Amino acid sequence: KPRVLSGITATGNLTIGNYIGALSVWAEEQDRYENFFFIADLHALTIPEAIRADDLRRRIREIVALYLACGLDPERSVLFLQSKVPAHATLGWIFDCVTPVSWLERMTQYKSKSQGANPSGGLLTYPALMAADILLYQAQFVPVGDDQRQHIELARDIANRFNSMFGDCFRIPDALIRKSGARIMGLDDPTSKMSKSKAETHEGHAIGLLDDPKKIRKAIMRAVTDAGSAVDRENLSPGVDNLLVLHEALSGATREETLDRFDGNGYGTLKKDLAELVLDKIAPIQTRFNEIHGETGYLEKVLSDGAEKAAEVADVTLNRAMELVGLR
């Protein structure tokens, strides 16, 4: 089976964007691949001003429980924390040294997050660590949302550069990005991506996987649309399009089917229907989350088994890379 690897950074509460763009795809396709999924806790440190140690600890536990609640199965997927597999940081450093700063400065996420800030070195080298995450496992596919496309391109470039400088070591991975739903937009502003960090400060921006039903309904009913009042398939504004994308991603229907159903309907009807659909999806996830999260010892066991299995694979690649550069 081809190998996939992906992860989520432990900043903020996971949103329906993370679910649609990443988690749901990972869970649904588990039987097709050999799976490695991790929590990017090292990546959570890149904006040090935002670190609260207790929050980070709580969040990491929450995300693991959500992985399981969304259907990731420790029997079929290796689930682990990035910081528990030291090979990530070691190969990350080697990649820092192999990667021209100009490549890192070109990353759009760096450009937007560093604006007006006093960015840390880690924010700049973030994608080199991400390349290490992927390349350590010789992953063939990396299932992600659209915003990670450029980072995966860079991982390919780093792999090629290392391979040609030191000798063949890394498989060149491909991004796996769904056609519809790979970029869910903010409900409060359909021109910007729904983001878990923005959700912290902007009420009505996101649908959080752990939000209560009332809050979810309210966010959807208040979602920004346009001056019109009914869905017009010939003329879809970004806000209405985003609601349709959410609907089709969660129902599994095609755009044609979704439009046939809602064309000519008032925005209120679309929103009410979408809210019910979202709550139907999220309710069982929250129920499982509460069960798993409350159990003592279980998450710890999943993570320690996962780290052991992950390290077995990662260490083989790391040793080869270290040998090739002369560290062995």
DSSP string over 96-114 = HHHS-HHHHHT-HHHHHHH
Among the options 1, 84, 111, 113, which is catalytic? Answer: 113
CB of 25 to ligand TYM, least distance (A): 9
CB of 129 to ligand TYM, least distance (A): 7
Task: Please identify which residue in 64, 81, 194, 231 interacts with ligand TYM, judged by CB under 6 A.
Answer: 194
**# of chain residues touching ligand TYM (CB under 6 A):** 26
In angstroms, the CA 237 to CA 263 distance is 13
Output 183 or 271, the one with its CB closest to ligand TYM: 183
**Is 41 labelled a binding residue?**
no
Residue 43 interacting with ligand TYM (CB under 6 A): yes
Residue 171 interacting with ligand TYM (CB under 6 A): no
Q: What residue type is assigned to position 173 of the chain?
A: P
Residue 86 corresponds to which tokens in the numbers above? 């030291």
The region, left, alpha or beta by phi > 0 then psi within -120 to 50, assigned to residue 138 is left
Output 17 or 306, the one with its CB closest to ligand TYM: 17
In angstroms, the CA 65 to CA 117 distance is 33
Which residue stretch of 26-34, 59-67, 180-188, 311-319 sits at the interface with ligand TYM (rule: CB under 6 A)? 180-188
Residue 21 interacting with ligand TYM (CB under 6 A): yes
Residue 258 interacting with ligand TYM (CB under 6 A): no
| CB environment 105-120: b (16+ within 10 A), e (fewer) | eebeebeebbeeeeee
C-beta separation of 292 from 298 below 8 A: yes
Which residues inside 141-170 make contact with ligand TYM, applying CB under 6 A? 142, 144-145, 147-148, 151
Q: In what order do the strands lie in the sheet with 141-143?
A: 77-81, 34-40, 3-9, 141-143, 174-176
Instruction: Compose the 78-117 pattern: x for residues touching ligand TYM by CB under 6 A, - for all others.
Output: ----------------------------------------
- Strands (DSSP E) contained in the chain are 3-9, 34-40, 77-81, 141-143, 174-176
CB of 135 to ligand TYM, least distance (A): 10
Residue 171 corresponds to which tokens in the numbers above? 């498989």
CB of 264 to ligand TYM, least distance (A): 28
Q: Is 113 a catalytic residue?
A: yes
Among the options 111, 179, 196, 215, which is catalytic? Answer: 196
In angstroms, the CA 32 to CA 177 distance is 16
Q: Is 193 a catalytic residue?
A: yes
Helix (H) or strand (E) holding 90: helix 87-98
In angstroms, the CA 229 to CA 235 distance is 12
SS3 54: helix
Task: Please identify which residue in 40, 72, 79, 275 interacts with ligand TYM, judged by CB under 6 A.
Answer: 40
Task: Please identify which residue in 41, 62, 96, 133 interacts with ligand TYM, judged by CB under 6 A.
Answer: 133
SS3 193: strand
Active-site annotation, residues: 113, 193, 196
Q: Which residues bind ligand TYM (CB under 6 A)?
A: 5-9, 17-18, 20-22, 40, 43, 130, 133-134, 142, 144-145, 147-148, 151, 182-184, 193-194
